[in-house]
Amino acid sequence: MLFRSENLVNGLREAFDHLAHDIRTPVTRLRGRAELALTSEGDVESYREALQSCFENSDKILNFLQVLTDITEAENRSKKLKLEKKFISELVKEIMSLYEMAFEEKDIKVIQKLDTHDWAMVDGRLISRVIANLLSNAAQASPSGAVITVKTQRTDDGMAEIAVIDRGSGIDPKNIENIFNPFFTTKPEGIGFGLAIVSKIVDAHGGRILVESTPGEGSRSEEHTSELQ
């Protein structure tokens, strides 16, 4: 018990360190630009640039706080899932309709290989969040003109499976075991909560998530949920 408590305290300390660091940077920039605008004489354009900088940094802070709210909500909802019969393929189509323009702008083609019998008892809103996060990550890792494949199927062991496959930059093997940890990110602009939320949602459904990746060749993420009936 003492060992677990010590690990928990260390984990909380590390989490707060990350929080302080990630929030401090945009707050410092916002305050600096505002102070400069207030203490120096300038023209309308310079004030406009200062306001724009303040707006962008405040938006980063709000986005960060929203992510914190989202992960808390995912943890709370995992204790009280609203399970309904949902076809996973239909959830994929709904998400694709929202992301279609973003994929087109980056000239990314998404191939859908969807099973028409892939229904499961799931919380549709949360599983849609899983699909959206996996597709978003695949798009960010893929260059212009790339192809992403999303597959759904009902497996022989009675589970619903979602697989997202890209041919992007891939993940360094030493980072694979950490990618689902909160605050872990390999991108300077990243927060490191997207895959942590995915993992918590999958766990809440009694499922598992697997990742296969080769640097320079792309990644394959699979989510299996055992709430299939």
| Mean pLDDT (whole number) for 126-147 | 88
Q: List the end-to-end C-alpha distance of the chain, in Å, as a whole number.
A: 38
- Residue 76 is predicted with a pLDDT of 63
Range with the poorest average pLDDT among 5-19, 62-76, 157-171: 5-19
pTM listed for this prediction: 0.64
pLDDT at 68: 64
The four Cα atoms 99, 74, 185, 95 give a dihedral, to 10 degrees, of -10
Residue 158 has pLDDT above 50, yes or no: yes
CA distances from 3 to 11, 15, 178, 182 (A): 12, 18, 21, 21
Using one digit for the tens of pLDDT, what is the confidence trace for 196-223? 778 888 888 888 888 888 777 777 776 6
What mean pLDDT comes out for the span 31-47?
81
Q: How far apart, in whole angstroms, are the C-alpha atoms of residue 37 and residue 47?
A: 6
Q: What is the mean pLDDT of residues 54-82?
A: 70
The pLDDT tens digits for 71-116 are: 666 666 555 778 899 999 999 999 998 888 888 888 999 999 999 8
Whole-angstrom distance, CA of residue 222 vs CA of residue 66: 26
Count other Cβ atoms within 10 Å, centred on residue 153: 17
What's residue 7's pLDDT? 56
Whole-number pLDDT of residue 229: 35
- DSSP string computed for 175-225: GGGGTTSTT--SSTT--S-HHHHHHHHHHHTT-EEEEEEETTTEEEEEEEE
Q: Which pLDDT score, from 0 to 100, does residue 148 have?
A: 93
The pLDDT, as a whole number, for residue 45 is 83
Angstrom distances, CA of residue 212 to CA of 126, 147, 223: 23, 17, 12
Bridge partners (DSSP) of residue 162 are: 152, 223
Find out whether 156 and 120 touch, Cβ atoms under 8 Å.
no
Say which residue, 149 or 54, is predicted with more confidence: 149
Alpha helices, DSSP H only, in the chain? 2-39, 44-78, 88-105, 124-141, 194-204
pLDDT reported for residue 228: 38
- Residue 57 burial by CB count (10 A; 0-12/13-18/19+): exposed, middle or buried? buried
